[in-house]
Amino acid sequence: MSLPAIVVRTCNEAPRLALTLASLAAQDPRPEQVVVVDDGSTDATPAVLAEAAATLPLRVLRNAAPAGRSRATNAGAAAARAPRLLFLDGDTLAAPGLLAAHAALHDAEPRAIGRGETWHLRQTRLLRDPATLEPFPAAAASFARLPAAEHARLRVTRAMVAGDFAALLARAEPGHYPGAGPRRMHAVEMEALRTAPGCTALWAAATGPNLSVPRDAFLGAGGFDPALDITAHRVLALRLHDAGHPMRAAEGAVSVHMTHRAGWLDPLAALGWEDRFLAVAPRRQVALLAVFWAGMADRPRFPPDYLLPSLPALAAAARGDDGRDWDVPRRAIGARALGPAFWTGAA
């Protein structure tokens, strides 16, 4: 079994990073290389990394000032030496078997992009340190109002990560963030990966963490686009798809995000990412992403004729001129109109 190098990007999340690294130390088989990019942390991250070096084969890169998620990850990928890369965030736990599942996928299908299941622990939102129950300063009052009896269900310790991960999974929920939208998106993406392997829109199921790729292909595609954050992983996945690297489910690879904010990072809240994405990939599939995501809402803001309930439906809508004016739902969600010529171009 050929194990991927694990690339972890982190910034000022030392207590959570300690738990993430503990989850990697508990993997069977154990990692052969873990590259951690400390993107300008000013907290106790160096001490956490020094301690973890006793149990993990760490290579640490440090930026004097934050360079951003994409640049930090690209630096970690360049420093890694395995033929495959597995990306993880510094606040995301690797469930038992995650590393082995990605390795098994790549051994069976060397050109594949591996997508694992991304779950979350919403109970950690208030806590700077989930092990000691130290709250974020801004959340101290909210934490103080919780009954003491509820504290136990909030805690995440190294002992739990290493010896009782099942208890954490029992508290976790599908989706990288809490909420109906992320949960539906997760279900739709995983269903497409499992049931529609030939779908041309599977690249849209890419995630930031719990994603594995061939290293040479990653570097050849230019890595993550430094001009993007929220969708940089999808731009990468589309480029890799174009180069013949299919997206596949890494079955059994589950990651658990220790949430740290109220709500979730809504890609429709600000559509500035779309102009950059369309500039590097002027595709109808790309332009339909926002419509696809908006359809996950309880009450979409456009007529039901424009709902795209699945990734195969997105791919089908992008393939041909079926008479629908896709600028109608785009205008409804605040995206700019692209004009008829765009919707009759290449999918």
pLDDT at 242 over 70: yes
Characterize the bridge pairing of strands 127-129 and 134-135. Answer: antiparallel
Q: Which residues of 15-32 are buried (b: 16+ CB within 10 A; e: fewer)?
A: bbbbbbbbbbbbbeeebe
Instruction: Determine the Cα–Cα distance for residues 160 and 251; give it in Å rounded to an integer.
Output: 23
The string of pLDDT tens digits covering residues 11-47 is 999 999 999 999 999 999 999 999 999 999 999 999 9
* pLDDT one-digit tens code per residue, 194-214: 999 999 999 999 999 999 999
The ranges assigned to domains in the chain are 5-122+173-258, 272-343
Q: Does domain 5-122+173-258 have CATH number 3.90.1150.10?
A: no
Does 46 sit behind a cis peptide bond, omega within 30 degrees of 0 on the bond before it? no
262 band by pLDDT with thresholds 50, 70 and 90? low
pLDDT digits (tens, 9 = 90+) for 115-146: 999 999 988 999 999 999 999 999 999 999 99
Nearest to 8 by CA among 83, 82, 66, 94: 94
The torsion angles phi and psi of 89, rounded to 5 degrees, stand at -95, 160
What gap in Å lies between CA 212 and CA 310, rounded to an integer? 23
